[in-house]
Structure 1
Amino acid sequence: MLAGAVLCGTMGALPGIDDEVLDQLKAAAHSADANQPSMILAGVLKAFNAPFEQADRPPTGCEWMTADQTEIQRFLDDGLCGKPFSNSMMYSVAEGFRNLWIAQNESRIPVDLPILIVAGTRDPVGASTHSIQSLITRYMKQGHLALAYRFYPGDRHEILNDRNKDLVHYDIVSWLDAVLNRR
């Protein structure tokens, strides 16, 4: 049985992914271009990055992930990171989230399951916490009894690799210790 769940870098809705876009993703996923990089995701990532680009340095495309330039460089230098989602994968991810967030499916999450939601206040994936707050509200309305959340001011998407990562790690480990010691 699951003792608890930590949601990090999550969102409460897919911004810009309506039925029309999902239909486009589905068509691309079931076409000869299924294994080609998703241009829709490329556009989303470009929009995520735009607010963080600085005039005094060329953009890497990764500024949206963390404010820590060392971590960005480590990501860029790692050949296993930064692989583009294919059209097929992008459709699967979008469809999976859409199905997950159907009220009937969300209601299957046990209300006594401890859940910790953590996010940076400048994470574009969670719409700077606005989308995440809608998820928290839904969970609260469903009667979740052990829901905790923490937002880290100024942090972006990769809070485990952002400037105050030690605090984030400490908070998550403390929460896990408390949850696991309860059982």
Structure 2
Amino acid sequence: MHSALTASDGREIKLFAWLPEQEIRHVMVLSHGMAEHIQRYTGFALACNAAGIAVYGANHRGHGDDASVLGHYADDNGWQKVISDLDLIVDDVAARHDVPLVLFGHSMGSFIAQQYAILNGSKLSGLVLSGSNYQNPIMYKLAILVSQIEKMRIGARSPSRFLDFVSFGAFNSKFKPTRTASDWLSRDPVQVDKYINDDYCGFPCSPQFWLDFMSGLISISQKSEIAKIPNQLPISIFSGDKDPVGLQGKGVLALAQHITTNGCENVHFKLYPDGRHEMLNESNASEVFKDVTDWVTAKVS
């Protein structure tokens, strides 16, 4: 089921809901990854429902069948608009359910979730980060320079196959011999093929999208910013130890250490052996579902 919210600039946000039949004990808001869409999370949401967790989520700007321009947040202030959309969703969901609210972010959505927790952490009872990373912001500053040049070459809104290749082109190299260009996502060939055959997955994003996204990553990488996350907020960070986004676990561990050393006292961390980028779509997805729901049930109050 879904309902609609209206963003501050008039954009309609189609909010999807997966509701349990039994008593609702927790509620979760999903923040999905880059070049995918919210309906890919149905299996995970149903597993959450079985644990008494209601789940809500919407497509980020530039994503899904309701995108005005696929792969493009906005012509200006895209990062801020995405965060504002998420705040609208959190407030709406919190008004519907008087139970602890958990924000779950995957990949790009995990960075959006970190920014949200920095700005609005007091509204959350828990934070889950999947397929995330932390590295020196100088990498993002270089990416901004390249994106600015590409924007001059093709325009702000045009999909950039060059930036797509620069960002993701090397990800498959660790998994040779490869069957597809998306083998880095999961060991499960059925899930990889679903992604490849989905018109709303795997598209290249615009130079302006990359400028917005990289600026957001620079922001959340600052120690002074991450220190604004409430110290007592329960945080769970997990990834596959072969995920190239998380630098084969090194970037994920760096993220956990970064968050912990800057004040957060309740951080759970797990790497899944041989897991790739999308642990919710991995060959051991049922184990991951149970780990997440068990953590929410036990740690979020």
Length-normalised TM-score, structure 2: 0.55
Once the two structures are overlaid, the 10-residue window that deviates more, 38-47 or 10-19, is 10-19
Partners of 2:240 and 2:271 within 8 A in 1: yes
In the alignment, which residue of structure 1 is the partner of 2:114? none
Higher normalized contact order (CA 8 Å, seq sep 6+, divided by chain length) = 1
Q: State the AA in 1 paired with 2:168.
A: L
Q: How does 1:12-161 map to 2 (within 5 A)?
A: 12-13=134-135, 17-29=139-151, 32-38=154-160, 39-54=162-177, 59-161=179-281
**Cα deviation digits, residues 60-115 of structure 1 (max 9, x gap):** 21011111101011111111111211111112111111111111111111111100
1:62 to 1:32, Cα distance in 2 relative to 1, 3 A:
closer
Return the offset for 1:35: 1.8
Query: What SS does structure 2 have at the residue aligned with 1:122?
Result: coil
Query: What SS does structure 2 have at the residue aligned with 1:98?
Result: helix
Once the two structures are overlaid, the 10-residue window that deviates more, 134-143 or 155-164, is 134-143
1:16 to 1:157, Cα distance in 2 relative to 1, 3 A:
farther
In 1, Cα distance between equivalents of 2:205 and 2:252:
23
RMSD of the TM alignment (CA)? 1.9
In 2, Cα distance between equivalents of 1:99 and 1:15:
9
Return the offset for 1:162: 0.6
Q: State the AA in 1 paired with 2:165.
A: A
Partners of 1:53 and 1:63 within 8 A in 2: no
Once the two structures are overlaid, the 10-residue window that deviates more, 109-118 or 130-139, is 130-139
Query: What SS does structure 1 have at the residue aligned with 2:171?
Result: helix
Once the two structures are overlaid, the 10-residue window that deviates more, 73-82 or 111-120, is 73-82
In 1, Cα distance between equivalents of 2:220 and 2:174:
29
Q: State the AA in 1 paired with 2:185.
A: M
In 2, Cα distance between equivalents of 1:89 and 1:26:
11
Structure with bigger strand share is 2
Length-normalised TM-score, structure 1: 0.89
Moved over 4 A (4+): none
In structure 2, the gaps of 5 or more residues are 1-122
- Figure out how many residues of one structure are paired with residues of the other and give that number: 178
Partners of 2:143 and 2:214 within 8 A in 1: no
